[in-house]
Amino acid sequence: LAEGVLGEVAYFESHFDRFRPQVRDRWREQGGPGSGIWYDLAPHLLDQAITLFGLPVSMTVDLAQLRPGAQSTDYFHAILSYPQWRVILHGTMLAAAESARYIVHGSRGSYVKYGLDPQEERLKNGERLPQEDWGYDMRDGVLTRVEGEERVEETLLTVPGNYPAYYAAIRDALNGDGENPVPASQAIQVMELIELGIESAKHRATLCLA
């Protein structure tokens, strides 16, 4: 995006889809405060959208419980509207078929990327840092451009993820050696969007930011 490879971006879609058809007996899947994937997964996608594009003008959100026995949100679809582009954020627990992680359309081309960041899965598998190949994603994205009447596809290497850099930045901020990597103001913006999304779904309406 920063290099302008896609031209003027008009559409950005980000998914956090999983296949977990059985409701598990844990607090995040029960009906208590803060449960469900709108609170669990959507904040990551909303924070990403704010970082890339700033705050939207309005948002439209659909929240649902699609799995049998579900007591909390296990599906969301959010449309963030900006003056000249749209951002789609989607999450579900019933995606057996793989969906794209990112879809971006611009005036000069499109970018599609499959696969989640591998860092979390490696940590869950018991791997520990440091490792030379940490954060490397073997599934690269594809850039598609049209030159004349010819469609050209190009593989774009995925930049390795780096969880440790975030915690190093937190350390530096606490020691007075750097800025907070996620200022409180940005966290508040995400919380405001979360709450606005709940109201949008409740009233089945597009709501503007104050």
Token pair for 94: 């019933």
* Position 56 in a domain: yes
Please report, to the nearest 10 degrees, the dihedral formed by the alpha carbons of residues 40, 45, 51, 54 taken in order. Answer: -100
* Position 1 in a domain: no
* pLDDT value for 88: 99
* Position 3 in a domain: no
* pLDDT value for 132: 82
* pLDDT value for 134: 87
> Nearest CA to 73 among 88, 59, 89, 93?
93
Domains: count for the chain = 1
Task: Please count the residues of the chain.
Answer: 210
* pLDDT value for 77: 99
* Position 16 in a domain: yes
* Position 31 in a domain: yes
pTM of the model: 0.91
User: Can you give the residue range of the structural domain that contains 49?
Assistant: 9-208
Question: Tokens 């774009």 sit at which residue?
Answer: 156
Question: For residue 78, what are the β-bridge partners?
Answer: 61, 89
H or E element in which residue 51 lies: helix 42-53
* pLDDT value for 104: 98
* Position 36 in a domain: yes
In three-state secondary structure terms, 21 is coil
* pLDDT value for 62: 99
Are 75 and 63 in contact by the 8 Å Cβ rule? The answer is: yes
CATH number for the domain that contains residue 90: 3.30.360.10
Are 134 and 160 in contact by the 8 Å Cβ rule? The answer is: yes
With vertex at residue 99, the alpha carbon angle to CA 6 and CA 156, rounded to the nearest 5 degrees, is: 35
* Position 2 in a domain: no
- Per-residue pLDDT of the chain (210 residues), as tens digits, is 778 889 999 999 999 999 999 999 888 898 888 999 999 999 999 999 999 999 999 999 999 999 999 999 999 999 999 999 999 999 999 999 999 999 999 999 999 999 989 898 889 999 888 788 888 888 999 999 988 889 999 999 999 999 989 999 999 999 999 999 999 999 999 999 999 999 999 999 999 997
* Position 4 in a domain: no
